[in-house]
Chain A
Amino acid sequence: MKFSLAGAPHLPASRTVGEVMRDVIYALVPGILAYAWFFGIGVLVQILIAALAGLGFEYAMLRLRGRPVQPFLGDCSVLITAVLLALCLPPLMPWWATVLGMFFAVVVAKHLYGGLGHNLFNPAMVGYVVLLIAFPAQFTQWLPPRGLAESGLGATGALQAIFTGALPGGFHWDAVTQATPLDLIKTQTALNHTIPEIRQNPLFGDFGGRGWEWIANFYALGGVWLLWRRVISWRIPVAMIGSVILLSTPFWLMAPDVHPFPAQHVFSGGLVLGAFFVATDPVSASTTPRGRLIYAAGIGVLTLVIRRWGGYPDGVAFAVLLMNMAVPLIDTYTAPRIYGHPK
């Protein structure tokens, strides 16, 4: 009798790359739904555009690089990039800008660096930062949350804005769009308003921005599910959020008029999304247990620094990219002590 030959292990893997990636996408669903609930269907349209563009670029690059298409498209990693980029963009972002963002994410940041597993930078954050720097005007055009000065734009209006770049008759950009709470903090503190004064604005909720804080809660819910599924480990979310709280608390205690309180920091902008879904991207994160703590704490600290002193209202994306660069160094100096080696 003849038997098949193969190396150990002989039993199937606990899970495959595709399964890991799909879990991440499932975990983002609550956050996406909350986003659509508070800010309209624009975000869903953005996800669709980004996903189609991403799959197209991924397919083209795989063909150009002579790599097998099926396993690499099937791993769903490009869909995560698409969703994360779309969640960072204003809901009415013109479609071509989203496609351009995906171009930089997939073609430049991912495939030109060697494809899955080889990219130094988080692809979604690269795409986002390129757009943020290239089209700053678009990033001032956010929508007000549900229950607050409803724009009345509706689904068709949003679609028209995304695909034609123009609002339906009777609507004006200034009337329809709003700044984000972090924008307000940035501009108003520069005008010497105190934080309690700024927070009087109806854009603010209990902790962070109105609506935004709830979306952050749902991101965190998905993140906890990923922790429970052991797709991500506790180190990065805990170190990133923990460092933000630890660093912002003394500043807030010393000068509560100038510095937002810690929960405001945590529940604003991209911090929760970043802590559970962006910084945890295994490819571009540190790979040692201690290194992951340092890497994530670095992102938290840089985010605060950029929010307070930088030129942009939120700093998560920049912080992630900066720490991505530091990963090889961190990994070199934080390798765990091997069994049997001197303590």
Chain B
Amino acid sequence: MATVERARLWHFHGGIVMAHHKRLCTTEPIRAAALPGTLYVPLSQHEGQPAEPLVTAGDRVLKGQPIGAAGGWLSAPVHAPSSGKVRAVEDHAVPHPSGLPAPCIVIDTDGEDRWGEHAGIDWHSAEPETIRERLFESGVVGLGGATFPSHVKLTPGDDGPVHTLIVNGAECEPYIACDEMLMRERADDIVLGARVLQRACGATDILIAIEDLRPEIRESMERAVHADGGTDLKLALVPTVYPEGGEKQLIQVLTGLEVPAGGLPLDLGLVCMNVATAVAAYRAAEHGEPLISRIVSVTGQGIREPCNFEALIGTPLSELAAQAGGYGENVTRLIAGGPLMGFALASDQVPVTKATNCVLALRDEQVRRPQPQMPCIRCMECVRVCPAQLLPQQLYWHAEAHEFEKSRDLGLFDCIECGCCAMVCPSQIPLVDYYRFAKSELRAAEADRHRADHARRRHEARQARLARQEAEREQRLRKKKEALERRPRGDRQSEIRAAVARARAKKRDPGPD
């Protein structure tokens, strides 16, 4: 067993070192959240197509039973987090930046928490495809926040095999500590999960990246890696800098390589999975348990007893907050996620989803004051911290002027939206909001162009068809004319006479019709 030390690593550009506030919620072990009376399970908790409901109001469901079928290849099914009765399939508030409600399956739990049939597979000898199929059926998606369906990510591309599986334990955003607690308490499951994922993608090596922040993480992970004993499994200690946990940045730190623009880690022969995803993969493969729960940090100075819960998907955040002692004084901001990339929630009446790694309650004096945005003074702080080495002030300049193409030419789509630039901006410009706006405008324009192109192609095809038909007709006429002209003149005179005679005969005798 070998631990790769910091000195052997590369580094990424920019980033911010800041107060992490993780100790707030890591003083006590992971708590199991109480079974809620009602679960609100959103049908869209992942990147890609939403799931299609498989149940209707009144149906009885068992724990782990599929209640929503995947809407396609880039999609994931959803499962009943506990046993009970489906109350409705209807729109309900969900944690989403838009604040709009979305289709959910509402389950009144019966308190028995009775499992449906489920069984593991022999993943040690199963084909990679079988394992990926199992992960797909179990609704396993990336639990680091992106919720990208894991079976898609683990499918090797055409450009060559996967050589290294990177297991991402770098949880760099302040306050969030769900992965930390998982690594401290369930390190063996993470390593076993890494083995499942390794088999699923065919990687020859595994690199588990953990932050050097805390000795407890290192101790438990080293113990688990040691217990595994494989020489193809290594642990790397990475420095704690935001946004180190970003896939592209972690790959750069571990390998010195950059994911090509517009490409995937697969292009480098790499697959990067979060530690919690590894545990979900292990449970799905070993026990046949679908992804119906996750660890959620309920933390912040606005929570009386910050802690980490293992909560069922669909549990209302209000119940988690209540079990964490409730809100303290002067709480004004509730955030799904961390303080840099998370989004504000208007209400805590929204459920835990597969993406909910953290519920952060901040006090009034902690949050950014609403104040007038000042003009950009081109101070270059954003350039200093940008991990993608962009010129954020130039992207902003053109986005604000609605010159989206210029923003794109300057690398708008290379922006990972980590929020470093907005965090350090002395003019308090919400830079990432500008970039998202510019990106959506460009995507809309692209879609418009696509539609217009399609219509134009159809129009051109029709014009070409009409022209072709016209040309064919003319050619036919010309051939006929030429055939006529090729005949001797006398012939034509006699033909005319014959035709006149025929016409006269016809006139005299109109015939049967």
- Whether the pair B375, A118 counts as a contact (CB closer than 8 A) is yes
User: Which positions 402-425 of chain B face chain A at CB distance < 8 Å?
Assistant: 410-411, 414, 419, 422-425
CA of A288 to CA of B392, assembled, Å: 11
Binds A, one of B140-148, B306-314, B325-333, B458-466: B325-333
A340 touches B332 (CB 8 A): no
Which residues of A sit under 8 angstroms from B258, Cβ to Cβ? 339-340
Q: Which residues of A contact B372 (CB under 8 A)?
A: 68, 71
Contact between A10 and B374 (Cβ–Cβ < 8 Å)?
Answer: no
- Residues in B425-455 with C-beta less than 8 Å from chain A: 425-428, 430, 432-433
The reply to whether A340 and B375 contact each other, CB–CB distance below 8 Å, is no
A115 to B339, CA, bound (A): 32
Question: Of B25-33, B180-188, B345-353, which binds chain A?
Answer: B345-353
Min CB distance A330 to B, Å, is: 12
Q: Are A6 and B414 in contact (CB under 8 A)?
A: no
Partner of A4, one of B248, B344, B423: B344
Interface band, chain B: 35 or more
Q: How far is the CB of B492 from chain A (nearest CB, A)?
A: 75
Interface residue? B377 (CB, 8 A):
yes
Within 8 A of B (CB), among A1-46: 1-17, 19-20
Chain B CB within 8 A of A287 CB: yes
Chain A residues near B174 (CB-CB < 8 A) = 11
B257 nearest CB neighbor, chain A only: A340
B377 touches A11 (CB 8 A): no
Select one of B259, B318, B377, B419 contacting A340, CB under 8 A.
B259
Q: Does residue A233 face the partner (Cβ distance < 8 Å to B)?
A: yes
Number of A-B contacts (CB under 8 A): 167
Q: Does B383 contact A (CB under 8 A)?
A: yes
Residue pair B260, A340 in contact (C-beta under 8 Å):
yes
Residue in B closest to A68 when the chains form the complex, CB atoms: B372
Minimum CB–CB distance from A182 to chain B (whole Å) comes to 31
Taking the complex as formed, is B263 at the interface, i.e. its CB lies under 8 A from any CB of chain A? yes
Say yes or no for B155: interface residue by CB 8 A criterion. Answer: no
- Is residue A75 within 8 Å, beta carbon to beta carbon, of the partner chain? yes
Instruction: Tell me if B209 counts as interface (CB < 8 A to partner A).
Output: no
Per the bound structure, the CA–CA distance linking A140 and B333 in Å amounts to 62
- Complex contacts, A282 vs chain B, CB 8 Å: 377-380
Query: What are the residues of chain A within 8 A of B410 when measuring CB–CB?
Result: 335
Q: Is the CB of A339 within 8 A of B366?
A: no
Q: Does B343 contact A (CB under 8 A)?
A: yes
CB distance from A11 to the nearest CB of B (A): 5
Whether the Cβ atoms of B362 and A12 lie closer than 8 Å is no
Q: Given that A15-B426, A288-B383 are contacting pairs, would A9 and B339 also be in contact in the complex, using a CB cutoff of 8 Å?
A: yes
- Residues from chain B with a CB closer than 8 A to the CB of A112 are none
B15 within 8 A of A: no
Q: How far is the CA of A10 from the CA of B422 in the complex (A)?
A: 10
- Nearest CB of B to A223, in Å: 16
Q: B360 — which chain A residues lie within 8 A by C-beta?
A: 10
Q: Which residue among B263, B367, B375, B411 has the maximum number of chain A CB atoms within 10 Å of its CB?
A: B375
The reply on B387 being an interface residue by CB < 8 A is yes
Nearest Cβ in chain A — how far from B268, in angstroms? 10
Supposing A8-B419, A13-B424, A19-B426 touch, asked if A3 and B346 sit within 8 A by C-beta, the answer is yes
- Flag whether B511 is at the interface (Cβ < 8 A): no
What chain A residues lie within 8 Å of B263 (beta carbons)?
340
In-complex Cβ contact of A8 among B13, B261, B340, B378 (8 A): B340
Q: What's the Cα separation between A233 and B384 when bound, in Å?
A: 10
Residue of A nearest to B423 (CB): A9
* Chain B positions within 8 Å of A287 at CB level: 378, 380, 383, 391, 393-394
Q: A7-B430, A75-B374, A288-B383 are in contact. Are A339 and B389 (CB under 8 A)?
A: yes
In whole Å, how far is B406's beta carbon from the nearest beta carbon of chain A? 11
Compute how far the CA of A337 lies from the CA of B318 in the bound complex, rounded to whole angstroms.
Answer: 46
Find the A residue at minimum CB distance from B426: A17
Whether A9 contacts B419 in the complex (CB less than 8 A), given A17-B426, A288-B391, A338-B390, comes out as: yes
User: Is A256 positioned at the interface, with any CB of B under 8 Å from its CB?
Assistant: no
Report the separation of the CA atoms of residues A10 and B393 in the bound assembly, to the nearest whole angstrom.
20
B323 at the interface (CB under 8 A from A): no
Q: Are B347 and A340 in contact (CB under 8 A)?
A: no
* A338 x B261 contact (CB < 8 A): yes
**Is B213 an interface position by the 8 A CB rule?**
no
B66 at the interface (CB under 8 A from A): no
**Partner among B376, B379, B411, B422 whose Cβ is within 8 Å of the Cβ of A338:** B411
- Which residue of chain A lies nearest to B326 when distances are taken between CB atoms in the complex? A1
Which of B248, B368, B374, B378 touches A285 (beta carbons < 8 Å)?
B378
In angstroms, Cα B93 to Cα A2, docked, is 14
CB of A305 within 8 A of chain B?
no
Q: Give the complex CA separation of A331 and B406 in angstroms.
A: 14
| A341 neighbours in B (Cβ, 8 Å) | 261, 411, 414
Q: CB within 8 A of A3: which of B339, B345, B394?
A: B345
293-343 of chain A: CB within 8 A of chain B: 331, 335-341
**B342 at the A interface (CB under 8 A):** yes
Tell whether A338 pairs with B332 under 8 Å between CB atoms, given A3-B344, A7-B430, A11-B339: no
Q: How far is the CA of A230 from the CA of B334 in the complex (A)?
A: 32
Complex CA–CA separation, A16 to B174 (angstroms): 21
Cα A118 to Cα B397 with chains together (Å): 11
Residues of A within 8 A of B419 (CB): 8-9
- Give the one of A116, A336, A337 with max B CB within 10 A: A336
Which of B340, B347, B379, B411 has the most A CB atoms < 10 Å from its CB? B379
Cβ B375 vs Cβ A12 within 8 A: no
In the docked arrangement, what's the CA distance between A5 and B376, Å? 24
Interface residue? B9 (CB, 8 A): no
Distance between Cα atoms of A289 and B390 in the complex (Å): 11
Q: Mark interface residues in B226-269 (1 if CB within 8 Å of A CB, else 0).
A: 00000000000000000000001000100000111111000000
Cβ of B370 under 8 Å from chain A: yes
Q: A10 — nearest CB in chain B belongs to which residue?
A: B339
Q: Tell me the complex Cα distance, A285–B261, Å.
A: 29
* Interchain CA distance A143-B446 in the complex, whole Å: 67
B346: A residues at CB distance < 8 A: 2-3, 5
Is B347 touching A2 in the complex (CB atoms < 8 A)?
yes
- CB-CB < 8 A to A115: which residues of B? 375
Offer 16 A-B interface pairs, CB within 8 angstroms, sorted by A.
Answer: A9-B422, A9-B423, A10-B339, A10-B367, A11-B340, A14-B424, A14-B426, A20-B377, A68-B372, A117-B377, A117-B378, A117-B427, A282-B378, A285-B378, A339-B261, A339-B389
Sort A-B residue pairs by CB-CB distance and give the 7 closest, nearest first: A117-B375, A340-B261, A3-B334, A338-B411, A282-B379, A339-B388, A10-B339
Contacts A339-B248, A340-B414 aside, 17 further interface pairs with beta carbons under 8 A come to A1-B318, A1-B331, A5-B99, A6-B333, A9-B339, A9-B423, A11-B366, A11-B367, A11-B423, A15-B426, A17-B426, A20-B377, A71-B374, A115-B375, A233-B384, A336-B389, A340-B260
Residues of A within 8 A of B (CB): 1-17, 19-20, 68, 71-72, 75, 77, 115-118, 233, 282-283, 285, 287-289, 292, 331, 335-341
